[in-house]
A and B are shown apart, each in its own frame.
Chain A
Amino acid sequence: MAKLNLDLTKEIELLRLVTVGSVDDGKSTLIGRLLVDTKGAFEDQLLAVRKKKGETKIASASEIDLAMLTDGLSAEREQGITIDVAYRYFATPKRKFIMADCPGHEQYTRNMVTGASTANAAIILIDARNGVMPQTKRHTHILGLLGIPHLIVGINKMDLVDHDQAVFEKIRDDIKAYCAKQGVKDLTCIPMSALDGDMVAVRGDNMDWYEGQTLLETLEDLSVLDAVDEQPFRLPVQLINRPQTADLPDYRGFMGTIASGTVKVGDEVMAAPSGKSSTVKEIVTFDGNLDEAFAPQSITITLSDEIDISRGDMLVHTGKATSDGKELTANVCWIGDDPLTNRKKYMIKHTTSSVKAMVASIDFRRDIHTLDREDADELAMNEIGQITFKLQKPLHYDLYADNRVTGSFIVIDTFTNNTVGAGMIV
């Protein structure tokens, strides 16, 4: 039986990834390769997609149609199902990965925004024969907008360009120059062959000139939490815990997931919007009380004073308040069937609070091809623009660039109840 250090499994961290690429850049092949090489797929699942029917054993990854492993797509097309984000899971002894797999064709903006919203890192694939294409720039722009901390560019199909170092370096320099303009902070470029597996999980023998890490090593080393625990403390209140049992008649706990920062027992905190302050009495969990809690833990806080707090309020450290106001300007990615239009009313859900909102102005639409700003009187599905909303009551928020949780919101159509927009506050 395989040796496994059980205590080591406790050290594993979680990294959320998104993979994007245009059709045929090799995304399915890469994901299949990662699943096979990390044993993220089971033998019975692999056997179902082997190239030669009838075999009952898989000797090597080359016998498997890697792309088939992840493509539920043909079945989807037959059934006419919207082709959208799928989630895949794989793990190494160091990390577990949740990968949002976004199809590269139709509705890619909508899918990409959905898949990328929770990601710590993104993998963009480029076909080495084609170099940086307009859609690569589009994808990079959207990932930049969504504030993905780490961008990895996989320069794929190196086997088709003779594993030529010069080809890799040219593409790397092009994408670097472009990313600098987009404000991308952490960029890594890796030459690879998803088909042969070179530089994915193993180095292979074909690109000895490349001195960087393989894709999997890179993914294992990226910072997971980044500095989210060092930002100002934010606790959007989800619920009030009032057991009202015989033992706990007067207990009032404030339940929520810490959006950012750290909180300690004894800290002075303030509740927005009331502005009332108190100190943290206990940080309660099922596993015992904590002295300190940090993002993204889900906790319950009790306070020393009785102050009025309800769902949708936000606990912050006194003196470290959020911005607030009845107007909100944001980059909005529209994902609804009906376009966003001026003066139309919607519902906005921001952290745990929902407010009515009206489109006050469409400041501009971003031409997704040239990335230029243009005037517009609507925002159609898959379009991105800057919108100013007028709110029925003030929201307490941070800028998206500073805080992805308290700086984001969704737009809900009040007639269909569908989620129609993704907002990033600027």
Chain B
Amino acid sequence: MSKHKMTQLKALEAESIHIIREVVAEFRNPVMLYSVGKDSSVLLHLARKAFYPAPLPFSLLHVDTGFKFKEMYEFRDNFCKEIGVDLIVKKNEDAMKKGMNPKEFGVARCCGALKTQGLLDALEEGGYDAAFGGARRDEERSRAKERVFSMRDEFGQWDPKNQRPELWSIYNGRIHEGESVRVFPISNWTEMDIWSYIREEEIPIVPLYFAKERPMIERGEMLIPYYEENKDQLLEGEEPKMVMSRFRTLGCSPCTGAVRSSASNMDEIVIEAAAAKRSERETRIIDHGANTMEDKKKEGYF
């Protein structure tokens, strides 16, 4: 019987470090996608651990939609400077010039242009053959089958029919010229693991994750952060008010909801995560128009 014991967070950590190192060993030009959120913060922390005492052997890439919370930009710039990593910021300038936004064009089109196309263009421009991402399999049902190494063709497209089986901890990183791979080192982490690890390792995160009185718009069960600059997000009859709240996940400010919470430190956040009844995805997409809401209702959304 074994005399050593390894906690589950340390086991997950070791697995993630193993994956990150394999990618650096087998790919010519990897990059780490950095969204400034909690999952990215954990991913970056793991990467620093993997190569210590050497600096990161790759850059961070932030695909900026221009719609992120200002607290996220502040945090990103300060933190990257402090730890001395190379940060590349890319935007889909074309779409931004045309005034792309979720309210007029719809969430799907806006995400498609600013996030997806922005990312594909940035990856192509950088000539990266591997891109680390912070996706987790517990986030939603469709992600449960995602591989750790996820192959992309020359157009950056995913072919779910053609996924490579992953056996033991042996990853097959062979690709043809022009193909690339998305790598998800924290596939096996749950939301609870992420919070517990941030707490244990004292990983700095954006202050929006901690509860505070913030101006919010209440819409149905959703709490939408209110900013003076975008008064036009108010629908008829709505008025902003101060609500003790925090964010479980951070995306673009017009599309990310907050939750009512008084958890203002890591201990309280972990306790809240353990008792959470709803998945974090629930706060992710906010409906801006009548149509999308109706579509969702048809599928049984309440």
Q: Within the complex, which residue of A43, A56, A84 is in contact with B163, where a contact is CB–CB below 8 Å?
A: A84
Chain A residues near B153 (CB, 8 Å)? none
Q: Within the complex, which residue of A12, A42, A297 is in contact with B279, where a contact is CB–CB below 8 Å?
A: A42
Assess whether B302 is interfacial by the CB under 8 Å rule: yes
Closest approach, in angstroms, between the C-beta of B160 and any C-beta of chain A?
5
Instruction: Assess whether B141 is in contact with A72, with CB atoms less than 8 Å apart.
Output: yes
Q: CA separation between A13 and B4, bound complex, in Å?
A: 12
Interface string of B183-219 (1 = CB under 8 A from A): 0000110101100100110000000000000000000
In the complex where A12-B8, A95-B8, A284-B52 touch, is A113 in contact with B192 (Cβ < 8 A)? no
Assess whether B288 is interfacial by the CB under 8 Å rule: no
Instruction: Assess whether B8 is in contact with A96, with CB atoms less than 8 Å apart.
Output: yes
Q: CA separation between A208 and B18, bound complex, in Å?
A: 46
Instruction: Assess whether A410 is in contact with B161, with CB atoms less than 8 Å apart.
Output: no
Assess whether B276 is interfacial by the CB under 8 Å rule: yes
Instruction: Assess whether B22 is in contact with A238, with CB atoms less than 8 Å apart.
Output: yes
Stretch in contact with the other chain, from A177-185, A221-229, A356-364? A221-229
In the complex where A14-B12, A243-B54, A410-B167 touch, is A229 in contact with B4 (Cβ < 8 A)? yes
Q: Within the complex, which residue of B6, B145, B172, B278 is in contact with A44, where a contact is CB–CB below 8 Å?
A: B278
Chain A residues near B13 (CB, 8 Å)? 298
Which A200-258 residues have C-beta < 8 A from chain B?
223-230, 238-239, 241-243, 245, 248, 251, 253, 255-257
Q: Within the complex, which residue of A9, A114, A225 is in contact with B6, where a contact is CB–CB below 8 Å?
A: A225
Stretch in contact with the other chain, from A19-27, A191-199, A417-425? A417-425
Stretch in contact with the other chain, from B122-130, B224-232, B264-272? B264-272
Assess whether B24 is interfacial by the CB under 8 Å rule: yes
Assess whether B174 is interfacial by the CB under 8 Å rule: yes
Which B166-182 residues have C-beta < 8 A from chain A?
166-170, 172, 174-176
Stretch in contact with the other chain, from A124-132, A313-321, A347-355? A347-355
Instruction: Assess whether B168 is in contact with A85, with CB atoms less than 8 Å apart.
Output: no
Interface residues contributed by chain A, number (CB under 8 Å): 86
Instruction: Assess whether A6 is in contact with B271, with CB atoms less than 8 Å apart.
Output: yes
In the complex where A6-B267, A14-B8, A84-B145 touch, is A42 in contact with B172 (Cβ < 8 A)? no
Q: Within the complex, which residue of B1, B11, B170, B282 is in contact with A14, where a contact is CB–CB below 8 Å?
A: B11
Instruction: Assess whether A12 is in contact with B51, with CB atoms less than 8 Å apart.
Output: no
In the complex where A227-B1, A405-B169 touch, is A96 in contact with B275 (Cβ < 8 A)? no
In the complex where A45-B279, A72-B142 touch, is A1 in contact with B271 (Cβ < 8 A)? yes
Chain A residues near B145 (CB, 8 Å)? 72, 84-87
In the complex where A2-B271, A86-B145, A114-B167 touch, is A417 in contact with B6 (Cβ < 8 A)? no
In the complex where A42-B276, A82-B163, A86-B145 touch, is A13 in contact with B5 (Cβ < 8 A)? yes
Instruction: Assess whether A87 is in contact with B278, with CB atoms less than 8 Å apart.
Output: no
Q: CA separation between A180 and B162, bound complex, in Å?
A: 38
Which A99-145 residues have C-beta < 8 A from chain B?
110-111, 113-114, 117-118
Assess whether A28 is interfacial by the CB under 8 Å rule: no
Assess whether A285 is interfacial by the CB under 8 Å rule: yes
Chain B residues near A176 (CB, 8 Å)? none
Chain B residues near A311 (CB, 8 Å)? 25
**Interface bracket on B:** 35 or more
Instruction: Assess whether B168 is in contact with A226, with CB atoms less than 8 Å apart.
Output: no
Closest approach, in angstroms, between the C-beta of A35 and any C-beta of chain B?
11
Instruction: Assess whether A410 is in contact with B279, with CB atoms less than 8 Å apart.
Output: no
Q: CA separation between A80 and B159, bound complex, in Å?
A: 11
Assess whether A11 is interfacial by the CB under 8 Å rule: yes
In the complex where A81-B160, A88-B144, A352-B25 touch, is A12 in contact with B271 (Cβ < 8 A)? no
In the complex where A1-B272, A42-B277, A284-B53 touch, is A114 in contact with B166 (Cβ < 8 A)? yes
Q: Which residue of A lies closest to B17 (CB)?
A: A298
Q: Within the complex, which residue of A238, A350, A412 is in contact with B21, where a contact is CB–CB below 8 Å?
A: A238
In the complex where A82-B160, A286-B49, A417-B174 touch, is A404 in contact with B275 (Cβ < 8 A)? no
Assess whether B300 is interfacial by the CB under 8 Å rule: yes
Assess whether B3 is interfacial by the CB under 8 Å rule: yes
Q: CA separation between A227 and B137, bound complex, in Å?
A: 29
Q: Within the complex, which residue of B11, B138, B174, B275 is in contact with A1, where a contact is CB–CB below 8 Å?
A: B275
Instruction: Assess whether B12 is in contact with A294, with CB atoms less than 8 Å apart.
Output: no
Q: CA separation between A306 and B137, bound complex, in Å?
A: 42
Assess whether A18 is interfacial by the CB under 8 Å rule: no
Chain A residues near B300 (CB, 8 Å)? 48, 53
Closest approach, in angstroms, between the C-beta of B6 and any C-beta of chain A?
7
Assess whether B48 is interfacial by the CB under 8 Å rule: yes
Instruction: Assess whether A87 is in contact with B279, with CB atoms less than 8 Å apart.
Output: no
Which B36-89 residues have C-beta < 8 A from chain A?
48-55
Instruction: Assess whether A241 is in contact with B54, with CB atoms less than 8 Å apart.
Output: yes
Q: CA separation between A124 and B271, bound complex, in Å?
A: 35
Q: CA separation between A245 and B11, bound complex, in Å?
A: 30
Q: Which residue of B lies closest to A354 (CB)?
A: B174
Interface contacts beyond A294-B6, A412-B174: sample of 16 additional A-B pairs, CB < 8 Å, sorted by A: A6-B199, A13-B7, A14-B12, A42-B279, A113-B165, A113-B167, A117-B167, A224-B2, A226-B2, A251-B53, A255-B51, A285-B52, A294-B4, A297-B10, A298-B18, A405-B168
Residue contacts A-B, CB under 8 angstroms, 26 given: A4-B271, A4-B275, A14-B12, A42-B276, A42-B277, A43-B278, A44-B281, A54-B302, A95-B8, A224-B2, A224-B6, A229-B4, A230-B2, A238-B21, A239-B21, A248-B54, A286-B52, A287-B49, A296-B6, A296-B11, A296-B14, A335-B165, A349-B172, A410-B167, A419-B164, A419-B165
